[in-house]
């Protein structure tokens, strides 16, 4: 029970890695603030998480006996982020950990010269600037308490390039840069900032994930055959499970990682070791 007595705020918590992370944190005793947009976004060609999915995540977490708050939050809007943070602090008194998981994989699938400026701006706004807004909203109080942990969910796309994914790659590389800079900003006040870089994560039905299928669609890989295609690119010959990433996040949130900051933890089955 490494997170007992802590409150953890998770964005993008309705499904996928967000749900898996929420469940892992609940199993370790954390009270939770679960945030998601709970709506679709113009320009994103697939359905995003719903309010019903967010409440289902919360119900699963409550089975572990922890307290859970849910709220709709748009990480593109600082006032929405600040309102969700204030709601969490009013309910629980403090925020000990943050998981910046909210993100989109599309619009993607085209070379740079075919990416519209609004598509580029949307990707950066959600996948990079969203994390900045959450850190901005929580870091002052964490610094005042001289305690806190922020985990940014980047990607192997934050470490290497991917053809026809320039916006996503740029945002995820930027998220690692934000992680390292913020880690140095807050090291004097004992607030830690780290990143995890998942590889190809299986779209687990229990978590209702669909990110891998959307990446396959953007790459024009036949959905239905895409898991085998991605598996063949993995040195360990297996896709990453959502729980594998969630376990890494829990470690970085916990006191076991009290001397770990500015680090990038890959959970990619060796993909970026080549």
* Residues acting as catalytic residues: 168
> In the numeric block, which tokens belong to residue 198?
């998942």
Sequence-separated (6 or more) residues with CB below 8 Å from residue 32: 7, 8, 9, 10, 13, 22, 25, 26, 58, 61, 66, 67, 68, 69
Distances from the Cα of 173 to the Cα of 98, 149, 160, 179, 244, angstroms: 19, 20, 8, 10, 21
Distance CA 35, CA 231 (A): 31
The answer to whether 22 and 53 are in contact (CB under 8 A) is: no
Sign of CA dihedral 115, 121, 124, 127: negative
> In the numeric block, which tokens belong to residue 86?
């204030």
- Please provide the size of the chain in residues: 274
> In the numeric block, which tokens belong to residue 7?
């409150």
Distance CA 265, CA 274 (A): 16
Distance CA 35, CA 70 (A): 6
């Amino acid at each position: 029970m490494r997170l007992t007595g802590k409150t953890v705020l998770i964005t993008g918590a309705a499904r996928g890695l967000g749900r898996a992370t929420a469940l892992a944190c609940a199993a370790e005793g954390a009270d939770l603030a679960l945030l998601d947009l709970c709506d679709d976004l113009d320009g994103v060609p697939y359905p995003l998480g719903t309010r019903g999915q967010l409440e289902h995540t919360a119900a699963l977490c409550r089975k572990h006996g922890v307290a859970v708050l849910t709220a709709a939050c748009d990480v593109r809007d600082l006032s929405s982020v600040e309102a969700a943070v204030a709601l969490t602090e009013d309910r629980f008194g403090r925020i000990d950990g943050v998981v910046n998981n909210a993100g989109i994989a599309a619009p993607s699938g085209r070379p740079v010269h075919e990416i519209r400026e609004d598509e580029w701006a949307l990707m950066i706004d959600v996948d990079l600037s969203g994390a900045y807004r959450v850190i901005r909203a929580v870091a002052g109080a964490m610094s005042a308490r001289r305690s806190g942990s922020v985990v940014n969910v980047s990607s192997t796309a934050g470490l290497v390039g991917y053809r026809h994914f320039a916006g996503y790659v740029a945002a995820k590389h930027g998220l690692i840069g934000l992680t390292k800079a913020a880690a140095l900003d807050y090291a004097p006040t004992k607030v830690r900032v780290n990143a995890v870089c998942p590889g190809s994560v299986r779209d687990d039905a229990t978590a209702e994930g669909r990110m891998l299928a959307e990446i396959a669609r953007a790459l024009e890989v036949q959905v239905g055959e895409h898991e085998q295609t991605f598996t063949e690119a993995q040195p360990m010959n297996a896709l990453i499970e959502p729980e594998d990433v969630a376990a890494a996040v829990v470690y970085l949130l916990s006191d076991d990682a009290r001397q770990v900051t500015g680090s990038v933890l890959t959970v990619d089955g060796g993909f970026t070791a080549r």
